[in-house]
Structure 1
Amino acid sequence: MVGAGGIGCELLKTLALSGFRDIHIIDLDTIEVSNLNRQFLFRQSHVGQSKAKVARDAVLKFRPNINITPYHANVKDAQFNVDFFKQFNVVLNGLDNLDARRHVNRLCLAAEVPLVESGTTGFLGQVTVHVKGKTECYECQPKPVPKSYPVCTITSTPSKC
């Protein structure tokens, strides 16, 4: 599993409750106050800590007899190479970074491991499954570039434009 944020918290909980017994989770982020309203595995006392490690600890409280290996790291680090990905039966993406999503897609293709890709845009969610030689890959269709707004628009302070 890659990503322990909004989608990742749900994925990890669902995997644990569905009977998966050996889960690896990669996330480079630490918990911020702004995460607490939508990432239910985290509490105020977790702010500043690793999302992957805290998510593991939270799930082990209600599913103690499973193995969850957290990696507080970037999925683009050299340790997460094709051989690393080959050890898995499936990879689930819960990332919000388009470049990282593409990177995981390429690793899954090279390792010949199915990828379950998920993401959100506003209130909309999407999930796609990518299996080398059977479905199109994540990058086979162009993705829309996320909209960006000037800081002055977001803060309603025209003097910053």
Structure 2
Amino acid sequence: MIRVAELVWWWAAAVGVWLLTLSSVNGQDLVVAAACGLPAAVAARSGRRAVGGCWRPRPGWIRWAVTLPPSILADTARVFRTALRHARDERPPGRVREVALPHDAPQPVAAARRALATLALSSTPGAYVVDDDPGGHRLVVHSLSESTSPTEKAITR
């Protein structure tokens, strides 16, 4: 049953990503997305098993999604300001810094936090995760901002 649930999860994720990339959706798009989603789901599950991946996300992490819209809006404005300023300035924009993550005891919980934090932080236009350090419980982030975003604050709590 767990195998089927995981395949359904990966299939839904693949179909969702496919449909999000379309400007409009019709019946043919749905059929193609559903058909292409199945081999993608099988490949994703096989890949996860090959690397021994196991995630145990916590339900409270869903609050990170609430912080994304304000972070995306602020970063969008920051990107445009930086682009205008960078045309006159010779210094490269942004900086690389470390984001310390809370220490989650079981490895599957820590792995899930790193993966989902990487997704959340990289979802904003002004930051992306360059590297992670599983042993040091930290992410290396390139950011246009000197301050901490609401999403980053939620992740590091």
Do the two structures share a fold, i.e. TM-score over 0.5?
A: no
State the TM-score, normalizing by the size of structure 2.
Answer: 0.27
**Structure number with higher relative contact order (C-alpha < 8 Å, ≥ 6 residues apart):** 2
Higher strand share: 1
Higher helix share: 2
Bigger Rg, which one: 2
State the TM-score, normalizing by the size of structure 1.
Answer: 0.27
